[in-house]
């Protein structure tokens, strides 16, 4: 089987505190060759960077998710900017974006830091990892206004319609597809995945969250990604191997990493 690149994981999460090293060491046995650990705040970004420094096949993305904007002050912002610029294993800025499902940060605060971090990514020539929940129109409008098409990146855990997918495709973005596509109530996502070209799809777990069926409710990890690839193959009526191979190359293109 072609190797798998988990483009969005949170192995820095406390859910992996009991056995983090064992889990990461065992991924190769499940066909997973590379992982990008995604920062979801200043604290999380620092932990993600440490994991990337420690493991050859782990990369990281540094950024502040909506809901964690309170972690940003002058000192932490300076750290984020410096680390994103100087750390070789940092391949993206994120996850960043908008989340109107939760109200931990006001919308204007979320928008401010979404734009600031997008500007940082543009300055550094790094892609962005976009978190968008219940905020499709504002996300699209802000991305267009800030020329996201010139920055590039991925819409993490894509959950919107086929019509919104067309907007993100027009900006040249990739789509992170994970365990949700296997859920029985994922009809809207299944329709979107059928529409999105394979050349724009990358595989992700968002672990420890969103484990695919039949492991829904369990702690997710990269070893479950073949189940996601199988579902994408079924939806698109193409070989499983084609999904895995294409997603592998897409992930490297997304993060500007050499294929080795």
* Bridge partner residues of 202 (DSSP): 176
Does residue 165 contact residue 192 with C-beta atoms inside 8 Å? yes
Provide the token pair at 145.
């206004």
Instruction: In whole angstroms, give the CA distance from residue 162 to residue 245.
Output: 24
Structure tokens at 249: 């190359």
Distance CA 168, CA 171 (A): 5
Indicate the DSSP class of residue 220: P
Question: pLDDT 10s per residue in the chain (260 long)?
Answer: 789 999 999 999 999 999 999 999 999 999 999 999 999 999 999 999 999 999 999 999 999 999 999 899 999 999 999 999 999 999 999 999 999 998 788 999 999 999 999 999 999 999 999 999 999 999 999 999 999 999 999 999 999 999 999 999 999 999 999 999 999 999 999 999 999 999 999 999 999 999 999 999 999 999 999 999 999 999 999 999 999 999 999 999 999 999 97
Interatomic CA distance for residues 222 and 96, integer angstroms: 22
Contact 229, 199 (CB under 8 A): no
In this prediction the pTM is 0.97
Residue 115 near residue 96 (C-beta atoms within 8 A) = no
Integer-rounded Cα Rg, in Å, for the chain is: 17
Q: What CATH number was assigned to the domain covering residues 4-255?
A: 3.20.20.140
């Amino acid at each position: 089987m072609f190797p798998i690149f988990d483009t969005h994981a949170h192995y820095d999460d406390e859910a992996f505190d009991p056995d983090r090293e064992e889990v990461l060491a065992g991924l190769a046995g499940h066909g997973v060759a590379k992982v990008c650990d995604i920062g979801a705040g200043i604290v999380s970004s620092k932990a993600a960077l440490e994991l990337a420094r420690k493991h050859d096949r782990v990369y990281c993305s540094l950024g502040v998710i909506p809901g964690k904007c309170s972690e940003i002050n002058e000192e932490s912002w300076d750290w984020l900017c410096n680390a994103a610029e100087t750390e070789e294993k940092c391949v993206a800025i994120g996850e960043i974006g908008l989340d109107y499902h939760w109200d931990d940060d006001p919308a204007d605060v979320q928008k401010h830091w979404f734009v600031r971090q997008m500007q940082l990514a543009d300055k550094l020539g790094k892609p962005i990892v976009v978190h968008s929940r219940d905020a499709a129109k504002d996300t699209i409008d802000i991305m267009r206004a800030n020329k996201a098409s010139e920055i590039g990146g991925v819409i993490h855990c894509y959950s919107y319609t086929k019509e919104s997918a067309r907007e993100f495709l027009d900006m040249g973005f990739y789509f992170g597809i994970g365990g949700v596509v296997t859920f029985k109530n994922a009809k809207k996502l299944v329709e979107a995945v059928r529409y999105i070209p394979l050349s724009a799809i990358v595989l992700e777990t968002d672990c420890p969250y969103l484990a695919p069926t039949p492991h829904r409710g369990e702690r997710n990890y990269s070893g479950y990604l073949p189940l996601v690839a199988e579902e994408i193959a079924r939806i698109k009526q193409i070989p499983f191997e084609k999904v895995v191979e294409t997603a592998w190359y897409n992930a490297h293109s997304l993060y500007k990493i050499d294929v080795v």
